[in-house]
Structure 1
């Protein structure tokens, strides 16, 4: 394996920081065969292709794919050289996953719709609790009148 130009490479620390993961996560993905960094001694060197693979891995994890599912998707390029049965199995698994994700999207859309309706209902209830401006104005006038009379009452000597 030839090592690309230094500008195209990054260290495990740089890659981890760039993607917001730990170095341990990257080593785990390497152990599972999902990433295959070049080596210079004991140093792992990640290429642009490794970065692209990591982005796909993380995206797959976010939407619920298992590492095995992700591995199969990453190996699609090599499926051209595989058997028809292997390709059909991969297609079937992908279609199943698409179906699961579409059901999840429908569930999420439904939950969001219910939450938005709940927010609107609460906003209306809160708005109903706020008195109109004319009532607030009258209440301030009454408070001022009551305060003036109390002040008069407190200031006048007892009979």
Structure 2
């Protein structure tokens, strides 16, 4: 089955420019028919993995390294080991970021409470002075 650049753009909600960028970065390898790009099922699967990898925080360089390992002839054992290691490290990084975000939300919530109280006090003082 073959896909055009427009097919993949619509299916995955990415721009044509994005697909051409991934091609320039050697992540996708469409065939050419004249000036048209024809993407294979393999390209479609790679695009799906690229977008998933970006969504969970991998750089394009890291994604390319993992995808390139698929081309090794070791029954994918190397690719699976590398991917497992990268996934484990990324999960730890995301958990750390989650803890940092939760801490920032708690601090900001406390500050919001203090500032809201200060504003109520000021508004109350202004209302009292206006009534006098």
Relative to the length of structure 1, the TM-score reads 0.59
Could you list the runs of 4 or more consecutive aligned residues of structure 1 that deviate by over 6 angstroms after TM superposition? Answer: none
* 1:113 to partner: Cα distance: 1.3
Q: Specify the alignment match of 1:26 in structure 2.
A: 22
**Pairs aligned (count):** 124
Q: Which runs of 5 or more structure 1 residues have no equivalent in the other structure?
A: 143-159
Shift of 1:35: 2.2
Residue correspondence of structure 1 range 1-159 to structure 2 within 5 A: 4=1, 9-11=3-5, 15=8, 18-20=13-15, 22=17, 24-29=20-25, 32=26, 34-47=27-40, 50-62=43-55, 63-64=57-58, 66=62, 67-72=64-69, 75=70, 82-83=73-74, 87=77, 89-129=78-118, 130-131=120-121, 137-142=127-132
Bigger RCO of structures 1 and 2 (CA < 8 A, at least 6 apart)? 2
Note the alpha carbon deviations across 1:73-107, whole angstroms, 9 max, x for none. Answer: xx3xx78xx446x51x3332122112211210121
CA RMSD of aligned residues (A): 3.2
Give the C-alpha shift of residue 14 in structure 1: 6.7
8 Å Cα contact 1:16/1:26 also seen in 2: no
Q: Cα distance 1:21–1:125, how it changes in 2: closer, same or farther (>3 A)?
A: farther
**Distance (whole Å) between structure 1 residues aligned to residue 15 and residue 98 of structure 2:** 28
Answer yes or no: is the 8 Å Cα contact 1:60–1:70 preserved in 2. no
Offset of residue 134 of structure 1? 6.4
Q: Quote how far apart the aligned CAs of 1:126 are.
A: 1.0
